[in-house]
Structure 1
Amino acid sequence: MQLIDAGMIAFAAWHALKGRVEWPLTFQVPRMIRKLVTEAGDTYALFWNAEQQWKRERWPAYRDRPEIWDHAGREDYEAMLAVLSALGAVQYRADGREADEILAAVAHCLAGAEEILIRSDDKDFMQLLSGSTRMEGRVRGTVRFSDVKGILGVTPAFVADFLALAGDPVDGIPRIVPPATARRLIETRGHVRDWIDRDLRIEPRLKAAVEAGREQLKLNLELVDLSAEAVGKPPAPREGWGDLATARGIGQRLSITWLSEDGVADEFAVLRAWGAKTRERLRVLE
């Protein structure tokens, strides 16, 4: 199954078409998803950020950058979501949760039962990789379980610990210790949660840094942890699946010709067919 970090596709559509078409997301994203699903020939699900996220409430600097609806506009974003569901795409979005959490929750439920491909460049997902789960993105290409240590210097089991210690400026996670020191602590002490509240017998300067950053380190780990215990159970998929009348109505309202034409059902049959198989597969999560 393909688990798709859909925000990256929406941003690609917006950057390609902004100023050229009035509704770039609704116009282009469904067609991009259709191409991806057609080429892969596999079940799939799309994952989107919520508008309000608990992680930003806990740490306002966390991924403090505009969301796709801030760029493209809420009307285009909401219309795109409705059209995707109507055309047969399986989508997840839940109040308070970011796409990463929900994608991870689904991945944990399916782990070991089938091959999983996470479509994203987000290194946080490296903690989910295993013999049956891999990543694929535009920046690094395919990343497998065995590739992670060469990229971050730790195995997938310790990715969250490494990010919590070394920080991640892209996501607004403050650094507690330098990356090399983070790896050394992980190699000698193991998971952060196992020693964070202990009196460590380590060199004085490092001990002082860890003690001074202890509360921030706990928060960092809370923000980056995508373990099954951290993310919980996945929500139900978005409603409105397979309602072609909705898609045509939006096409007419927004003057998107291809969306309001009679042939749209045939053109997007592949999206609906694989979407139906996905829905059946995901019933095990209910």
Structure 2
Amino acid sequence: MLIDAASLYFRAFYAVPETVTAPDGRPVNAIRGFLDMSASLIDRRRPSRWVACLDLDWRPAFRVELVPTYKAHRVAPAGGEDVPDLLAPQVPLLLETLAALGLATAGADGFEADDVLATLAHRDTDPVEVVTGDRDMLALATERVTVLYTGKGIAKLEAMGPAEVRAKYGVPAEHYADFAVLRGDPSDGLPGVAGVGEKTAAALVSRFGAVEDIVAAARTGDTGFPAGAAAKVRAALDYLAAAPAAVRGRLDVPVGALDDRIPAEPRDPERLVALVDELGIDGPVERMLAAMRAAAG
């Protein structure tokens, strides 16, 4: 099980009231929510291995160079990512808690969690479940990789394989990124091709496949193009030359070997006890330990 960590702790932060605090008054709603959601996932899905994938660079320079509007709307006035003031201090404490529990985390300088998820899912040989609220990750779905989409919440996970992606969006999962490039995605600052909506994008991807093949067909005047779409594609050639590499998850992220087995007992019990006392997270930690023991067999 590969967790899109930021996706889950942002969801936890907004799902659990900010009034949930540590004994000293600090907010711990994201920590408690993340642990409870993760415990629920482990308990329900029973993975033997688990990794929280991190955004060590939430807006990589290589993506901004390709698409300057990429996540531009999320930049804080002072620079950096616009993260709620009450969430930012919780993230290091959450990572400390995961380390004390013995649960693996993975990230790489210059890359987003999306890239780490894509690399780890691609290089593994076991069945993989990717937990995320980012629809771009639907491109990872294969017969071996299932995307557990959290858009409707952890209690209503959508298990998305190739058949489910095609049924919902009308495109092959391996070309979901091409579909997103054409359609655009405001949440990532991706403009899309002017005048090309979801239906036209799905039709083009279903017929021609990758953006590069769509562009080639538009240039040659292939008769299979919907009326008027070829001109719209030709008007966006510069964008279409750059955007695919910005949207597709990287498969070459330098993530070393991981001890990602779910342990039956915490790796650092003393540190875990100290964190539980400091943060007042005894309930979530107990639930996580119970789930870990069940998963570890």
The 5 A counterparts of 1:78-89 are 78-89=92-103
Map Cα deviations across residues 23-62 of structure 1 (whole Å, 9 max, x no partner). Answer: 3233442343233323322122111222453156334532
8 Å Cα contact 2:101/2:267 also seen in 1: yes
Q: For residue 5 of structure 1, report the CA deviation from its aligned partner.
A: 1.6
Distance 1:101 1:109 in 2: 12
The 5 A counterparts of 1:13-32 are 13-15=12-14, 16-21=16-21, 22-24=26-28, 25-32=30-37
The 5 A counterparts of 1:50-65 are 50-54=56-60, 57-58=64-65, 59-63=67-71, 64-65=73-74
Q: For residue 217 of structure 1, report the CA deviation from its aligned partner.
A: 1.4
8 Å Cα contact 2:4/2:114 also seen in 1: yes
8 Å Cα contact 2:35/2:288 also seen in 1: no
SS of corresponding position for 2:220: coil
**Equivalent position of 1:212 in the other structure:** 235
Q: For residue 152 of structure 1, report the CA deviation from its aligned partner.
A: 1.4
Distance 1:156 1:247 in 2: 40
Q: For residue 68 of structure 1, report the CA deviation from its aligned partner.
A: 8.2
SS of corresponding position for 1:149: helix
Count of aligned pairs: 264
**Equivalent position of 1:200 in the other structure:** 220
Amino acid at match of 1:231: L
Query: 1 or 2, which has the higher helix percentage?
Result: 1
Indicate whether 1:242 and 2:271 are aligned: no
Amino acid at match of 2:199: A
8 Å Cα contact 1:90/1:237 also seen in 2: no
Map Cα deviations across residues 52-77 of structure 1 (whole Å, 9 max, x no partner). Answer: 53156334532343768544343221
Q: For residue 162 of structure 1, report the CA deviation from its aligned partner.
A: 1.2
- Unaligned runs of at least 5 residues, structure 1: 278-286
Q: 1:161 aligns with which of 150, 163, 178?
A: 178
Distance 2:281 2:191 in 1: 46
Distance 2:135 2:288 in 1: 34
Q: For residue 90 of structure 1, report the CA deviation from its aligned partner.
A: 1.0
Distance 2:293 2:163 in 1: 34
The two structures, once aligned, show a CA RMSD in angstroms of 3.3
Indicate whether 1:38 and 2:37 are aligned: no
* Inter-CA distance 79–143: structure 2 relative to 1 (3 Å threshold): same
Distance 1:206 1:183 in 2: 12
* Inter-CA distance 142–265: structure 2 relative to 1 (3 Å threshold): closer
**Equivalent position of 2:55 in the other structure:** 49
SS of corresponding position for 1:231: coil
Amino acid at match of 2:289: F
* Inter-CA distance 36–219: structure 2 relative to 1 (3 Å threshold): same
Distance 1:272 1:181 in 2: 49
* Inter-CA distance 221–26: structure 2 relative to 1 (3 Å threshold): same
The 5 A counterparts of 1:1-150 are 2-15=1-14, 16-21=16-21, 22-24=26-28, 25-42=30-47, 43-54=49-60, 57-58=64-65, 59-63=67-71, 64-65=73-74, 69-110=83-124, 113-138=125-150, 139=152, 141-150=158-167
* Inter-CA distance 221–102: structure 2 relative to 1 (3 Å threshold): same
8 Å Cα contact 1:114/1:132 also seen in 2: yes
Give the alignment's TM-score, normalised by structure 1.
Answer: 0.77
Q: For residue 104 of structure 1, report the CA deviation from its aligned partner.
A: 0.8
Amino acid at match of 1:72: L
8 Å Cα contact 2:20/2:27 also seen in 1: no
* Inter-CA distance 247–26: structure 2 relative to 1 (3 Å threshold): farther
- Unaligned runs of at least 5 residues, structure 2: 76-80, 260-265
Aligned structure 1 segments of 4 or more residues deviating by more than 6 angstroms: 264-267
User: Identity percentage over the alignment?
Assistant: 23
Distance 1:26 1:212 in 2: 47
